[in-house]
Structure formats: C-alpha cells, structure tokens
C-alpha cells in the first residue's frame, strides 16, 4: 500500500529551499529533494515536472510572502508610516532574495533567467499598484498629480536606494514630501 504523506508539496518546496540556502543551487536536484522528503524520485514529478518548475514555484511563493507581509499596512498610521513600512519590508525581502536567488548558478540558465525577468516585472508592477492604492487612500495628493507615475517613482527609487545603499529612507522621505506638496 502506498504511503500517504500530508502536505507533500509543501515538504518538497521546504526541502528544496533548504538545499538552496545551505548547500547552494548547484546542489539542488530532484533526486536529492526526493531523498530529503523520504519519497521515490518518481513521486516528486507528480508535483513538479522539472527542476525549473520547482524553482519557479519557490520563487513565486517567495514573492507572495513579501506581499503578505504588506497585509498589515492598515495599522501603520499615515502615508509616511505606510511608505516606510513598505520600504522596510522590501529591504528585508531583497536581502533574503539576494542571498537565496541572485548571483546563484540558476541565473546562468538563459530560459530560467528570461522567465525570472518576466516575474520580476510582474512583481514590480504589483508593488507599484500597491503603492498607488496607498497614495489614493491617503488623499494627501494634489488632484493634478498622476498617482501611478508617482507610485512608480517611489518604487524605482526604493529599489535603487536599496541596491546602492547610498541614501536612507529619511532623505527620500524629505524629497518625497516636497514632491507631493
């Protein structure tokens, strides 16, 4: 009789993520994940057809974790507090994302890299829309301002600031306050 394992898909993802974190992407393969889960190699393919499918799901869940961290924004006070909260959560997310994903061998694979760029674009667009929603709800904007453009400006600057580590949030907050007046 085949053994039934509760939440096997989550176990597969968890073990794959752990292998990437502790041993590096180059040591990740379906056989290794199956061994960690205590299942036959063929069983893993019932959930993920290829290693790339497994990685895409891991990355997608990583991004979704970021967006769920923004769910408590309603409790963050005014516009500046909400924008600072997003910045801080993005900082945490990017630090983790870079350690686990960026500069890994998997980005040397052209097909995976192309799919990753599409997902990155979707992630950024979703973040812009979230910031736009916050700006609209704040009602602190001049009605002539293009809220979507301002949201895009904020997100682009957040990403640049976090990559360059040259400017801090307080400086950006001062600049943004002047722009929004």
Q: For the chain, give every residue range classified as CATH 1.10.357.
A: 59-180
Q: What is the pLDDT of residue 1?
A: 45
Q: For the chain, give every residue range classified as CATH 1.10.10.60.
A: 1-49
Domain 1-49 of CATH type 1.10.10.60: yes
Look at the block and give the residue holding tokens 């205590």: 38
How far is Cα 74 from Cα 18, in angstroms, rounded to an integer? 33
CATH number of 59-180: 1.10.357
Least Cα distance to 54 among 97, 113, 13, 6 occurs for: 13
How far is Cα 158 from Cα 66, in angstroms, rounded to an integer? 15
State how far Cα 116 lies from the chain centre.
11
pLDDT in tens, the chain (181 residues): 456 677 999 999 999 989 888 887 778 899 999 999 999 999 999 999 988 888 888 888 888 888 887 777 777 788 888 889 889 888 887 776 665 555 554 555 666 555 656 677 888 899 999 999 888 888 776 666 788 999 999 999 998 888 887 778 888 888 888 877 7
Q: What is the pLDDT of residue 67?
A: 84
């Amino acid at each position: 009789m085949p053994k039934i394992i509760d939440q096997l898909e989550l176990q597969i993802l968890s073990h794959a993520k752990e292998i990437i974190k502790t041993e590096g992407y180059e040591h990740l393969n379906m056989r290794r994940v199956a061994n960690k889960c205590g299942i036959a190699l063929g069983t893993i393919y019932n959930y993920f057809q290829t290693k790339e499918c497994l990685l895409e799901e891991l990355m997608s869940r990583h991004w979704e974790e970021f967006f769920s961290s923004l769910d408590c924004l309603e409790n963050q006070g005014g516009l500046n507090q909400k924008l600072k909260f997003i910045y801080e959560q993005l900082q945490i997310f990017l630090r983790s994302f870079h350690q686990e994903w960026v500069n890994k061998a998997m980005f040397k694979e052209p097909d995976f890299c192309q799919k990753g760029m599409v997902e990155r674009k979707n992630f950024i667009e979703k973040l812009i829309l979230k910031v736009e929603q916050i700006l609209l709800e704040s009602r602190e904007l001049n009605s002539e301002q293009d809220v979507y453009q301002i949201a895009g400006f904020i997100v682009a600057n957040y990403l640049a600031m976090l990559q360059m580590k040259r400017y801090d949030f307080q400086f950006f907050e001062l600049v943004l306050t002047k722009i929004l007046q």
